[in-house]
Amino acid sequence: MNKNNSINIKRLITASITILAVIVVVLSGVGFYILHTALSPAKWAKDIDATYKRMFEDYPFLEGWVSSLNERGAINEMEITAHDGTILHTFYIKADKPTKNTAVVIHGHKNNAVNMLHIAYLYHKDMGFNVLLPDLRGHGKSGGDHIQMGWNDRLDVMQWMDTANELFGGDTQMVIHGISMGAATAMMVSGEEQPHYVKAYVEDCGYTSVWDEFSYVAKKDYHLPQMPFLYIADRLCKWRYGWGFKEASAVDQVRKADKPMLFIHGDADTYVPTEMVYTLFDAKVSDKELWVVPGVAHALSYHDYPEEYTNRVKEFVNTYLNVVN
């Protein structure tokens, strides 16, 4: 081999290594971008005052109710320490009359507990329940450096369930109600061993799994295929946070669930696609109901049909809780 050929081969190898390195850097960069976009806490999710303002604009009847509760000192707050030392925050509202009936209400992605005041109103004002509204990790007043998408949140929610049971007198009758990521969280909780006091679940527009939801959003909003980008982001999530997109599966947990569940989903949902609810509903073995709400976008079923939403939730929950106030 002459000297010129040897130089050309070395240049080719160097160029190939450089190109490969650039590809790795670009792919990793996209993976980190996906992870950062999805899992980094949002400033607005920490702004409680702005959330109150937005909720009062969207649901004007809430302002008078919240004002009345505040005048009576009925909206309380507390913190607990999670298994890993993270400080978690919740609001809670005791029923106007003593009752064992209790709702744990779980908010969605990059929101906070105040975003669930309309559902708290349903249970507290319309049904006479005690209500606990936790802030998930990375949201509201809770600690945590990244969003868990419901998977590790399920462990925190189970701790909150025990806290609510003790807070409201023990031997409660409890329903778990979540919207969007909160619904996925509720479903992920449902597949774990259940305390005796949990009687029912309501999931409103939750996703089948983190993998499915991220795949859908990556394609719809960013025109990115699963391979290689989502696989890289999944690996980075496992490396950085200890959990993966596929294991964070609501549908797998629902298959194991033995508590009754009401499934709600708008048929115009383009954020968590409506077809996911059919997969989830089919996965639930028994004690289930499905309401697909006509013309409703993501997480707006109560907003658009407040009376029917309230009546359907009441009827379902009353079937499985011995509701005596």
Q: Which residue in 222, 276, 211 sits closest to 247, CA to CA?
A: 211
Domain CATH for 196: 3.40.50.1820
Q: Does 194 have pLDDT greater than 50?
A: yes
Q: Which residue has the tokens 């109560």?
A: 302
In a domain, 325, yes or no: no
pLDDT at residue 223 in the model: 76
Asked if residue 226 and residue 100 are part of one domain, the reply reads: no
Q: How many domains does the chain have?
A: 2
In a domain, 14, yes or no: yes
Give tens-digit pLDDT for 56-81.
999 999 999 999 999 999 999 999 99
Asked if residue 278 and residue 133 are part of one domain, the reply reads: yes
| CA dist., res. 80 & res. 72, Å (int) | 24
In a domain, 15, yes or no: yes
pLDDT at residue 23 in the model: 46
Asked if residue 294 and residue 146 are part of one domain, the reply reads: yes
Residues 6+ apart with CB under 8 A from 78: 89, 90, 92, 163, 167
The neighbouring-strand residues paired with 133 are 91
In a domain, 183, yes or no: yes
pLDDT at residue 19 in the model: 55
196 alpha-carbon distance from chain centroid: 23
Asked if residue 198 and residue 96 are part of one domain, the reply reads: yes
Instruction: State if pTM tops 0.75.
Output: yes
Q: Which residue has the tokens 């950085």?
A: 240
pLDDT at residue 322 in the model: 76
**Average pLDDT of the chain to the nearest whole number:** 92
Least confident of 3-17, 31-45, 100-114, 146-160: 3-17
Q: Which domain holds residue 152?
A: 42-209+248-320
- The residue type found at 314 is K
Q: Which residue has the tokens 């992920």?
A: 188
Confidence of residue 33 (pLDDT cuts 50, 70, 90): confident
Percent of the chain past pLDDT 70, that is, above it, reads 89
Asked if residue 71 and residue 187 are part of one domain, the reply reads: yes
Pair 207, 245: CB distance under 8 Å: no
Asked if residue 303 and residue 286 are part of one domain, the reply reads: yes
